[in-house]
Amino acid sequence: MATTVASSSGTGSPKSAPPRRPGYGQLLRTPGVAGFLLSGFAARQPFGMLTMSMVMLVEHTTGSYGNAGAVAAVTGVSMALCAPQNGRLADRHGQRAVLVPGVLLHAVSVAALATLALAGAPLWALFLLAVPAGASVPQVGPMVRARWAGKLAGSPLLPTAAAFESVTDEFTFVIGPVLATALCTGVHPVAGLAAEATLTLVGGLLFAAQRTGLPDNGTGLDRGAGPGRGVEAGRGAGPGRGVEADEGVPGTRRGTAGSSSALRVPGVRVLVVAFLGIGVVFGGMQVSLTAFAEESGHSGVNGLLYGIFACGNMLSGAAVGAIAWKRPAHGRLLIGYTALAVVASTLWAVHSVPLFAVVGFLTGLCVAPALVTGYTLVDALVPARARTEAFTWLTGAVALGQAAAVTAAGRLADAHGSRAGFLVPALGTLAALLTLALLRERLVPAATKPQARAAEGAASGV
């Protein structure tokens, strides 16, 4: 894979010098972004706290991890199925119109579920409330990404923003469960859900109040001040943006708002498969790592090993945003996913904790480039008015893949040991890689296919 880091040295003219990739410092100094970044960071923390808090509370009140896992699974499936619909509503009616009632419903649902659990309510009642609790999880991460896309349309800072968001998401996945566990064990079993609901409500309302970067939804209701937004901002900003991009979306007409789902864009469907595979890695790793730690006689090491895996993910995500890539994004995704599938396919053969720390770290290194590149491709493939929905299809795909992998890997690990459980991420990534290889042309924006092929040919020998 070829990369170049821009330099100002050399004898050529300024016009021939390669462009310098902006860094995270310049990204964070972008005017007006501090408000939605800080509030968005608070509002997305519950995403990593909800499942763990629910498991610990329900296990405390029922005495069964099976019951706790079942309630958490209902929440996860509900979230995965409803996230794209929430994203589509946000694209059509504005982020604030969806976010405000959503966080209110979520806080009420979680509070009611916690109250019934403490009161010893029957399991069916907890299942019933788990549905709205999951369905109303605010999709703050996709909304932040949509704001970056609107704020930085056509800017070289956009890939850096995608990498920054990947690192932020991974930080949430690591810190959220740790915080939930500390609250549930050190304060009270209900403290995790109480903190989750409070952060969702306060952070979500503060995020909704921020106007910077709000994408244009065609109605004018969700348009903030500043450059990079609205219909005019999309013109000339490159493929996949503004009104012109509607030509590539079935069911839309040039210059109309359109109502087609982002899932009708062929490239988005391919990305959904890729992100399902990434979710399988997350879910398969969580369950199989626990079984591996118990088999090795170090039952407490699974948290450390998963932390090492997540650390590799965060480090590579940060690096991706600091590199000026010569190869087009669809080519990078295929190469990066190949590396992920190869490394994930070796997990089943690892027998020692130190070796697994190394292989797990390498697996994490391979996850983030695929995530970052996939999110970056959304900006080129999807019109601005449908991006929030497109991002939520991807996050929903990760959640579905994770839920399926937890179930499959758990059953395999129970029946045949942790090595069998690690076959789940191997098979999941290989299947997704085959799909990417066969349908890679769908990831090339129609308006830029000739240029993309030329750029890919120029980089193929490096």
What is d(CA 138, CA 39) in angstroms, rounded to the nearest whole number? 13
Q: What is the DSSP string of 408-456?
A: HHHHHHHHH-HHHHTHHHHHHHHHHHHHHHHTGGGGS-GGGHHHHHHHH
Q: What is the pLDDT of residues 252-306, one digit of tens each?
A: 333 333 456 777 788 888 999 999 999 888 878 877 777 787 787 776 677 678 7
In terms of domains, do 216 and 245 share one? Answer: no
Residues in a beta bridge with 4 = 324
- Specify if 234 maps to a domain: no
In terms of domains, do 279 and 138 share one? Answer: no
Range of the domain at 284: 240-251+259-448
In terms of domains, do 298 and 187 share one? Answer: no
Q: What is the pLDDT of residues 407-458, one digit of tens each?
A: 777 778 777 888 888 899 999 999 999 999 998 888 887 655 545 445 445 4
In terms of domains, do 145 and 282 share one? Answer: no
With a pLDDT cut of 70, the percent of the chain lying above it is 77
- Specify if 21 maps to a domain: no
Task: Calculate the dihedral angle through the C-alpha atoms of 407, 313, 270, 150, rounding to the nearest 10 degrees.
Answer: 120
Say if pTM beats, i.e. exceeds, 0.85.
Answer: no
Q: What is the pLDDT of residues 164-205, one digit of tens each?
A: 877 787 677 667 777 877 788 788 989 989 999 999 899 889
In terms of domains, do 85 and 121 share one? Answer: yes
Distances from the Cα of 230 to the Cα of 33, 233, 283, 350, 431, angstroms: 17, 5, 39, 52, 39
- Specify if 3 maps to a domain: no
In terms of domains, do 55 and 157 share one? Answer: yes
Q: Looking at the 3D structure of the chain, how many domains does it have?
A: 2
- Specify if 16 maps to a domain: no
In terms of domains, do 191 and 264 share one? Answer: no
- Specify if 27 maps to a domain: no
What is d(CA 456, CA 41) in angstroms, rounded to the nearest whole number? 36
- Specify if 195 maps to a domain: yes
- Specify if 273 maps to a domain: yes
- Specify if 233 maps to a domain: no
What is d(CA 342, CA 53) in angstroms, rounded to the nearest whole number? 34
CATH number at residue 36: 1.20.1250.20
In terms of domains, do 214 and 272 share one? Answer: no
Instruction: Considering only residues 343 and 87, tell me which one the structure prediction assigns the higher pLDDT.
Output: 343
In terms of domains, do 284 and 396 share one? Answer: yes
In terms of domains, do 176 and 95 share one? Answer: yes
In terms of domains, do 39 and 156 share one? Answer: yes
In terms of domains, do 371 and 270 share one? Answer: yes
Task: Calculate the dihedral angle through the C-alpha atoms of 300, 304, 307, 308, rounding to the nearest 10 degrees.
Answer: -140
Considering only CA atoms, give the Rg of the chain: 22
Question: Is 254 in contact with 247 (CB distance < 8 Å)?
Answer: yes
